[in-house]
Amino acid sequence: MRAFRRLCACAAVTMAIAGTSMPAALAQSAYPTTPTPQPQNPGQPPGRVQEDIPRPVIGEAGTMLGIVRLLPATAPGDAFFNDPEFESKLPKQAVLEAGMGRAVAQVNSEAYLAHEHSVAEASPFGTGIMGHVPQVPGGLSQNALSDHESPTTSALAPPSSPADQLVRLSGLNGTVHARWNQETGPCGVAPLSDARYSMASGSALNQVPGLGGSVLEVPSIAEARSSVRLADVPGQTGKAVTSTSELQISQVKLFSGSPQEISVDVVGRPVVVATATGDPTTTRVDYTAPVLRISQGGREIAVLDAANPAADVPIPAVPGLDQRVLDLGVLRLSLGELKQEAMGNEIRGTARLFDLKLLDGTKLGLPTALAQISFGEQVARAAAPAGGVHCDPPVAGAAGGAEATPAAYHQARTPPLALTSGSYFAVPIFWTGAGLLLLGSIIVAALPRRNAKH
């Protein structure tokens, strides 16, 4: 009887302890999923974007003051995998490209690496060889994460090299600013990405025989600026993603220092803005075209504006050159050449101030000109989620009330780790059993004992 009472007492204590020590996970009807792993170092940015950040948020803007292409559209495209059929469908590239005044702003919430969410770059020049773009020293770059409250500004000084005969620049300055919040993503920071490049003067193709000067010269201050930011949309709660490319320049000289010199005065500032609202009906590209005043020998010969967007300017013969082989011919200038493409909630627009084809290659049996100069190349691309980017603060009760900090809100949104095997319960069960065994021993030792009668 006493043994039975002891057994009942031990069983009651065991049930009481088990009732209070039962792991909470045993009572869950469904286990949470495992979130994206994060680094253990608190100072290290996460490997990829958080699930509570609005997506997709994609913006890209690029501005180039001028670019020279040698033998354009002659080099075959090249893919990273060996597929001749695929490579044959790629657009042909120039044999050599050299550009001056490059400003690029990029934002991509879908980037796997956190430091690629926002990138801003400014460089005095860029080069491309057979479609491949090598890294050029002398540029400026900033990436987020981590978030940067202040931009980085520095004078850009490309080293002197034989390439000066192709492109020569002076008085260079660059500013880059990349922002991205680890908790709220693109919300609460402005701008998301901003890049500026300015120069006091520049010239390209400085050693063409017979000209005695530069084919292209920018004698005064010029600036290229690219930026990506969020903007309010009238009548819509979600914000729009806007990518802006701006070009500021006052004058361009062609065949500078020669009898063929042509001056192009730029009145106004070319601006390309791609706005993605999350609604295909309101997603758009806006272009502000400048006015070009063309003069030669101190006499104005053409004006390009919205009413007259194109003009052909004859170029006098170059003394000392065989015109049967080298024919400069006619310089065709076009204004407001805007191309845009739309796909769903994404929009893209490109524009060029004017093009110059130098030395017609058809006389040498080539399908293109020997060189092509494009001035004022601009591109803007933007994409936003349906309904726009929502950056409203959390509602009361969702994560500590409307006054909750972004960090607290983000922490409250982080799901717990998933329970994927019974090993999660091994430690609690072990210590529960050990505690019951110890308590049972204490109870048995504490109960009085009586000697058995023989």
Q: Are 66 and 216 in contact (CB under 8 A)?
A: yes
Give pLDDT, residue 93.
75
Strand order in the sheet with 291-296: 167-170, 201-204, 214-218, 251-256, 262-267, 291-296, 299-304
pLDDT at 177: 97
For CA atoms 235, 237, 243, 246, the dihedral sign is positive
Contact at 8 Å (CB) between 407 and 50? no
For the four alpha carbons of 268, 258, 374 and 205, in that order, the dihedral sign comes to negative
By three-state DSSP, how is residue 122 classified?
strand
The pLDDT, as a whole number, for residue 7 is 41
Give the number of other CB atoms < 10 A from CB of residue 341: 11
Q: Is 220 exposed, middle or buried (0-12, 13-18, 19+ CB in 10 A)?
A: exposed
pLDDT for 233: 93
Instruction: Tell me the Cα Rg of the chain.
Output: 34
Per-residue pLDDT of the chain (454 residues; tens, 9 = 90+): 444 344 444 434 333 333 333 333 333 333 344 455 566 676 665 555 454 667 789 999 999 988 878 777 776 666 554 566 655 666 677 777 877 889 999 999 988 888 899 999 998 877 777 666 666 667 889 999 788 999 999 887 766 777 677 778 888 999 999 999 888 889 989 999 999 999 998 887 777 665 667 878 899 999 999 999 999 999 999 999 999 999 999 999 988 888 778 899 999 899 999 999 999 999 999 999 889 999 988 899 889 887 888 887 776 665 554 444 344 556 667 776 788 898 888 999 999 888 777 666 666 666 666 777 788 889 999 999 999 999 876 544 444 443 444 445 445 544 555 555 566 567 778 788 888 888 888 887 777 766 655 5
How far apart CA 75 and CA 91 sit, in angstroms, is 9
* Burial of 120: CB neighbours in 10 Å, binned 0-12, 13-18, 19+: buried
List the Cα angle 169/371/85 in 5-degree steps: 115
> How high is the pLDDT of residue 439?
82
The C-alpha angle with vertex 328 and arms to 91 and 96, in degrees rounded to 5, equals 35
Q: Residue 450: its pLDDT value, please? A: 66
pLDDT score, position 350: 92
Burial of residue 125, with CB atoms counted within 10 A of its CB: 0-12 exposed, 13-18 middle, 19 or more buried: buried
Separation CA 155–CA 118 (nearest Å): 22
* pLDDT at res. 391: 87
- What is residue 131's predicted lDDT score, i.e. its pLDDT? 61
Q: Cis check for the bond before 191: say yes or no (omega within 30 of 0).
A: yes
Pick from 56, 58, 28: which is nearest to 274 by CA? 58
| Eight-state DSSP code of residue 187 | T
